[in-house]
């Protein structure tokens, strides 16, 4: 009995030490941001530096920690090192993690609400509302993420109009139909910025809070 108890204790200790590798890795706001960016598609170290305003050395150091925890993997393309999530299940984990944080930490919702309050009369569509409008052909859906993220995966029927190219497309967008914009999910600012810009130009425009991964989960639940 004593040997069995010791073996069970050793098993649990060793197991939870391995689980803690992921927990320790996530204890950094910078690494969480990198994971969020990589959930949108593979990116070079240089692109991650540009997106996060971190130094090349800091990004590389954080990526090494994520790689050691087997949350990301990398490959080489010419002179570039390209990182991506190690497995699609990491995206599912991140979605659950964001939801837990927003449900349990009141500051998350407060910070999000304070940001959205800066936009005048911003309207947000639910996924049910968007689906109805898409099926009836009464709305155009814009993906305002960088084009490489759109190419890595997007909501079916969406048009790629990166936020920094939006002004160039204003003249070609239809004015007799509603427009919705989405980006990387609930904590991305691009969709709100795009919807506000479109409204200022006289379009009937909405923000979709969810991104590609939330949309995929939504469709799985529907079916």
Residue pair 177/140 in contact by the 8 Å Cβ criterion: yes
Which residues are annotated as catalytic? 183
Contact 206, 181 (CB under 8 A): yes
Per-residue pLDDT at 40: 96
Give the pair of three-digit tokens for residue 220: 């799985």
- In this structure, whether the domain defined by 2-91 belongs to CATH 1.10.10.10 is answered with yes
- Dihedral over Cα of 39, 44, 50, 52: its sign: positive
Residue 37 near residue 83, CB atoms below 8 Å:
no
**Contact in structure between 49 and 59 (CB atoms under 8 Å):** yes
Domain positions in the chain are 2-91, 116-222
> Which CATH code is given to the segment(s) 116-222?
3.40.250.10
Cβ pair 185, 211 in contact under 8 A: yes
- List average pLDDT for each run of 10 residues in the chain, which is 223 residues long: 71 93 96 97 97 97 97 95 96 95 95 88 93 95 97 95 96 94 94 96 95 91 78
Gap between the Cα atoms of 151 and 164, Å rounded = 17
pLDDT value at residue 108? 95
Which residue do the tokens 């689980």 mark? Answer: 19
pLDDT at 56: 97
CA angle 20, 13, 15 (to 5 degrees): 55
Q: What are phi and psi of 159, to 5 degrees?
A: -110, 135
Fold identical between 2-91 and 116-222? no
Question: Considering only CA atoms, which of 178, 94, 168 is closest in space to residue 136?
Answer: 178
User: If we measure between CA atoms, which residue out of 26, 191, 147 comes closest to residue 96?
Assistant: 26
């Amino acid at each position: 009995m004593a040997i069995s108890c010791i073996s069970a204790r050793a098993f649990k200790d060793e197991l939870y030490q391995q689980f803690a590798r992921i927990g320790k890795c996530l204890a950094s706001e910078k690494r969480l941001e990198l994971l969020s960016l990589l959930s949108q598609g593979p990116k070079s170290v240089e692109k991650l530096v540009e997106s996060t305003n971190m130094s090349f050395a800091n990004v590389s150091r954080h990526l090494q920690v994520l790689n050691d925890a087997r949350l990301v993997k990398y490959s080489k393309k010419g002179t570039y090192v390209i990182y991506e999530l190690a497995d699609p299940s990491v995206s599912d984990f991140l979605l659950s993690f964001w939801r837990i944080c927003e449900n349990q930490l009141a500051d998350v919702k407060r910070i999000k609400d304070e940001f959205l309050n800066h936009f005048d009369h911003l309207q947000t569509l639910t996924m049910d509302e968007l689906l109805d409008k898409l099926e009836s052909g009464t709305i155009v859906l814009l993906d305002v993420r960088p084009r490489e993220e759109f190419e890595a995966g997007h909501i079916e029927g969406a048009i790629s109009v990166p936020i920094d190219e939006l002004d160039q497309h204003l003249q070609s967008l239809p004015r007799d139909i509603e427009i919705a914009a989405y980006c990387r999910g609930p904590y991305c600012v691009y969709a709100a910025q795009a919807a506000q810009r479109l409204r200022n130009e006289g379009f009937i425009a909405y923000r979709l809070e969810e991104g590609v991964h939330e949309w995929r989960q939504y469709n799985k639940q529907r079916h």
